[in-house]
Amino acid sequence: MGAKALAFRKGTQQLYSGSFDRTLRLHDLSVMGYVETLFGHQDTVLSMDALRGETVISAGARDKSVRFWKIVDESQLVFRGGGRSAVRDLLDGGALDGLHEDDGITGGDAMGGGKKGNERIHPKKFVEGSIECVAMIDEATFVSGGDSG
């Protein structure tokens, strides 16, 4: 299968690729060769990033995981997102939970001002569904984003 995500290891000719077959592959362009395959994701690898260290970070789409790969140790740390995604539920034919008229709360603020008693406040519910992107900030810190916003 073809690659969906690519990332160069900074300062080297090593290239990581993530694909639809749920794997990451390491290539060394200085010898134009394949080095190894990393297994672990349960769905398409949508995004990846790498810095100078022998690590790479990857986002696994609907498997709701971000994986921090330690290449030398041949190990990985798995970070899981939350439960369902309201957007994915809607696209898959379900209803958007948490967006019904009667789910709001009423009342004003502690100082007596703010909303009148008959106005509704709709709290936002954040759940992680598909993890769409990931970026490394430094060798030990990363950020990720998903379809929940």
Query: Do both 91 and 74 map to the same domain?
Result: no
Per-residue model confidence as pLDDT tens digits over 44-85: 999 999 999 888 989 887 788 899 999 888 899 998 875 555
pLDDT of amino acid 31: 94
Residue 40 structure tokens: 């672990």
Per-residue model confidence as pLDDT tens digits over 87-97: 656 666 665 44
Query: Do both 12 and 69 map to the same domain?
Result: yes
Which of 63, 53, 60 has its CA nearest to residue 23?
A: 60
Query: Do both 100 and 47 map to the same domain?
Result: no
Residue 33 structure tokens: 């060769």
Is the pLDDT higher at 43 or at 114? 43
Domain count, the chain: 2
Residue 142: pLDDT over 70: yes
pLDDT of amino acid 109: 41
| Region of 132 on the Ramachandran plot (φ > 0 left; ψ -120 to 50 alpha; else beta) | alpha
Query: Do both 37 and 107 map to the same domain?
Result: no
Please provide the average confidence, as pLDDT, over all residues in the chain: 77
Residue 33: pLDDT over 80: yes
Count, in order, helices (H) and strands (E) of the chain: 1, 10
pLDDT of amino acid 145: 87
pLDDT of amino acid 110: 39
Residue 7: pLDDT over 90: yes
Per-residue model confidence as pLDDT tens digits over 10-24: 999 999 999 999 999
pLDDT of amino acid 101: 39
Query: Do both 138 and 103 map to the same domain?
Result: no
Query: Do both 72 and 113 map to the same domain?
Result: no
Q: Write the CATH number for 134.
A: 2.120.10.80
Query: Do both 132 and 76 map to the same domain?
Result: yes
The boundaries of the domain holding residue 102 are 86-126
Query: Do both 97 and 148 map to the same domain?
Result: no
Query: Do both 9 and 77 map to the same domain?
Result: yes
- Categorize the per-residue pLDDT at 105 as very low, low, confident or very high, splitting at 50, 70 and 90: very low
